[in-house]
Structure 1
Amino acid sequence: MMKIDKYDKQLIKLLQTDTTQSVSELAARVGLSSTPCWRRIQALEKNGVLTRRVALANAEKLNVGLCVFVTVRTNQHNPEWLEKFARFTEEMDEVVEFYRLSGNVDYLLKVMIPDMKAYDTFYKRLIQQADFSDISSSFAMEQIKYTTALPVDYL
């Protein structure tokens, strides 16, 4: 495992909020020169600490402002069932997050869609994909906090 120091932590924080900063800007902000800063970024990527660089899009401007959390329960707890269900979620752009859970709910999907009619269409496709014992949907009324930045203080 890669040893992470205070410079790496600062770089991770900065890159999680804005990857458009130049290496020289990042270097100045963390107190390094450009070459060592660039080497650190490359090492963070090589070691899988930084997994990719992306642009975050505005859901409202893309007409997918309705966020639905879909909980799924099933009586099928086998690799074939999960593989089929996972393949379905991979093919559906509306599913932006997919988790297997412990507790009373087996799976959680985060679905981004334009409106209730679009969700109904999605739901009808969903129930055709696998054997479910229960599906429940909760519609987000307000987004109070949203971030893609992970905490680095536990390193």
Structure 2
Amino acid sequence: MDKFDCHILEILQSDCALAVNDIAEQVGLSATACWRRIQKLEEQGIVRARVALLDGAKLNVGVTVFVAIRTSRHDAKWLAQFHAAVSTIPEVVELYRMSGDTDYLMRVVVPDVAGYDRIYKRLIHMAELSDVSSSFAMEQIKYTTALPLGYVADT
């Protein structure tokens, strides 16, 4: 990956709806060369998807809840059951397996506390959990989907 690829990625991260001609002009390549690079980045899985970012508050899911989960079960059967259960809950927008005291950390978006309570009740019925600790975000200070590109080495 070279400086052209990084510049293309930077542009796509800020607005993936730009026309290839516009991206090519900003990067300093022909439209064909730019399009080929984008195709290659997609084929390599570096560009996983092109999506629209939506405003949760305007869609009535403006409350963000971070949920720390601990379990006493760490076997493959439980893991499969838990993953399958969580994948059926659209309000769970992120889920991570963690190191340390917390086994899983999830980010949930809901309209209000009652909406989260419904998700909580679903979770505790779907899988055996030792502890569920929820924290409601009071204010979003920074949010980005853009990844830092300064760590990409030229190849």
TM-score (structure 1 length as normaliser):
0.97
Which of 35, 39, 45 is the aligned partner of 1:42?
39
Partner residue, 1:151: 148
Q: Which amino acid aligns with 1:114?
A: P
Percent identity over paired residues: 53
Residue matched to 2:137: 140
Give the count of matched residue pairs: 152
The runs of 5 or more residues in structure 1 that have no matched partner are: none
The answer to whether 1:91 aligns with 2:85 is no
> Which residue of structure 1 lines up, in the alignment, with residue 109 of structure 2?
112
1:123 is the counterpart of 2:120: yes
Q: Give the distance between the partners of 1:22 and 1:102, measured in 2 at CA.
A: 42
Backbone CA RMSD of aligned residues: 0.6
Once the 2 structures are TM-superposed, how far is the Cα of residue 131 of structure 1 from its aligned partner?
Answer: 1.1
Cα deviation, residue 88, structure 1: 1.2
Give the unaligned 5+ runs of structure 2: none
The one-letter code matched in structure 1 to 2:13 is Q
CA contact (8 A) 2:85 2:127 kept: no
- Name the aligned partner's letter for residue 60 of structure 1: A
Q: Which residue of 1 aligns with 2:5?
A: 8
Say which SS state the counterpart of residue 21 (structure 1) adopts: coil
TM-score normalised by structure 2 residue count? 0.97
- The letter for the 1-side match of 2:9 is I
Please give the per-residue CA displacement for 1:96-120, whole angstroms capped at 9, x wherever unaligned: 0000000000000100000011111
